[in-house]
């Protein structure tokens, strides 16, 4: 807390807050002879210095709340694909970048769908992500508070590479633009407590590695290939009986388990037991 306050106070001083302390230093440095003529400098310096302290305290409090909110979402949030329904301009700019309003629609397991509006700067990097019409966010099912994961959003939008290299078959797979498989991979990483940084090495976690590569190979096998020459159209055949629906994947089961824990449906002990059971079935 003290370190955060000192950083905030230093920031305030660097961005114009030095005027107050300078006035006070000059006032006391000139001595009693000059003080009656510059009495205004004492009061102005005192007011500016007091304002600096109050602003630093406000920044510190805001930073503490933001850190606590981030920690809460990291522990209990549900990783969700967010739809962008609309973008509107505003009339104000920050650092020569126009501020925009982005309409978001949240829908995922464990919480009722809801809409929100986010105001942000229209930087070139962000606009590339926003133009894909999807973002990735952590959502608290209980409070509907959320935090946009811009790193994961860039991966989904295709603005950063989405390549996966397998040493077992000496092959690199490119899943850029495949939102569904990439979301499954992000959920697997989150379920295993692995941060989705720019480069992730899963060799030390064989369980997560096998789960991720299963999704990667399935997505690569489902990519469309060149269409063969057109053949005569055969009469339609009756639709075959497909039987029971397919069993959910390991990633889906882990995500459902995360949602049950986040909503308080199951206890931590039940969550740990069930997660171990799912991983042991691999």
- Span 89-129, pLDDT tens digits: 999 998 888 999 999 999 988 889 999 999 999 888 889 99
Please state the rounded mean pLDDT for residues 119-141: 91
The per-residue pLDDT of the chain, averaged, comes to 82
pTM score, whole prediction: 0.62
The residue behind tokens 């049950």 is 260
E strands, the chain, in order: 78-94, 97-108, 111-121, 134-139, 146-148, 163-166, 171-174
152 vs 185: CA distance, rounded Å: 11
Would you place residue 267 in the very low, low, confident or very high pLDDT band (cuts 50, 70, 90)? confident
* DSSP bridge pairs for 93: 98
- Residue 171: the pLDDT is 87
pLDDT in tens, 189-228: 888 888 877 788 888 888 888 898 899 988 887 655 444 5
Would you place residue 241 in the very low, low, confident or very high pLDDT band (cuts 50, 70, 90)? very low
- Residue 168: the pLDDT is 79
> What spatial distance separates the first Cα and last Cα of the chain, rounded to whole Å?
45
- Residue 153: the pLDDT is 92
Q: Which of residues 232 and 25 earns the better pLDDT score? A: 25
Domain residue ranges in the chain: 1-74, 77-157, 163-222, 250-281
Q: Which of residues 47 and 70 earns the better pLDDT score? A: 47
């Amino acid at each position: 807390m003290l370190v955060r306050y000192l950083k905030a106070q230093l920031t305030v001083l660097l961005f114009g807050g030095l005027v107050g302390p300078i006035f006070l230093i000059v006032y006391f440095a000139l001595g009693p002879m000059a003080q009656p003529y510059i009495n205004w400098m004492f009061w102005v310096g005192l007011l500016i210095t007091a304002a600096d302290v109050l602003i630093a305290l406000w920044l510190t409090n805001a930073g503490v709340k933001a850190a606590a909110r981030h920690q809460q979402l990291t522990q209990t949030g549900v990783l969700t694909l967010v739809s962008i329904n609309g973008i509107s301009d505003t009339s104000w700019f920050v650092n020569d970048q126009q501020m925009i309003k982005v309409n978001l629609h949240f829908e995922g397991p464990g919480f009722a769908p809801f809409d929100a509006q986010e105001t942000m700067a229209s930087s070139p990097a962000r606009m590339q992500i926003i133009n894909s019409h999807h973002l990735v966010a952590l959502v608290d099912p209980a409070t509907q508070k959320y935090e946009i994961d811009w790193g994961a959003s860039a991966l989904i939008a295709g603005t950063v590479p989405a390549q996966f290299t397998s040493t077992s078959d000496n092959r690199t797979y490119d899943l850029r633009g495949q939102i569904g498989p990439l979301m499954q991979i992000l959920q697997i990483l989150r379920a295993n407590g692995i941060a989705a940084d720019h480069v992730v090495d899963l060799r030390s976690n064989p369980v997560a590695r096998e789960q991720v590569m299963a999704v990667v190979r399935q997505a690569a096998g489902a990519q469309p290939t060149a269409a063969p020459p057109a053949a005569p159209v055969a009469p339609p055949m009756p639709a075959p009986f497909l039987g029971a629906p397919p069993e959910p994947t390991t990633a889906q089961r882990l995500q459902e388990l995360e949602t049950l824990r986040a909503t308080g449906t199951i206890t931590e002990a039940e969550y740990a037991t069930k997660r171990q059971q799912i991983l042991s079935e691999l």
